[in-house]
């Protein structure tokens, strides 16, 4: 989204105009984000077809070593 506003190598506050403000003090699930941003079923299907789910078991195994 930032790239859409860039016309040079310089970056300013206005370049973040399309980046949504997100409260990261809260835990967010995909479903909560879909609802917050009002995504349609078609948009959700597109996202889920393009992005693989994260494998959270790999991180827990790394901590055990």
pLDDT at 3 over 90: no
pLDDT confidence of residue 12: 75
Residue 36: CA count within 13 A, CB half-sphere: 11
pLDDT confidence of residue 56: 74
Q: What is the pLDDT of residues 9-63, one digit of tens each?
A: 677 777 777 788 889 899 999 999 999 999 999 999 999 999 988 887 765 555 5
pTM: 0.57
Query: What span, in angstroms and rounded, lies between the C-alpha atoms of 25 and 64?
Result: 27
pLDDT confidence of residue 57: 78
CB 15 within 8 A of CB 6: yes
């Amino acid at each position: 989204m930032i790239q859409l506003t860039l016309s040079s190598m310089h970056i300013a506050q206005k370049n973040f105009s399309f980046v949504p403000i997100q409260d990261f003090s809260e835990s967010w699930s995909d479903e909560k984000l879909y609802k917050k941003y009002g995504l349609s079923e078609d948009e959700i299907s597109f996202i889920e077809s393009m992005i693989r789910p994260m494998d959270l078991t790999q991180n827990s195994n790394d901590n055990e070593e």
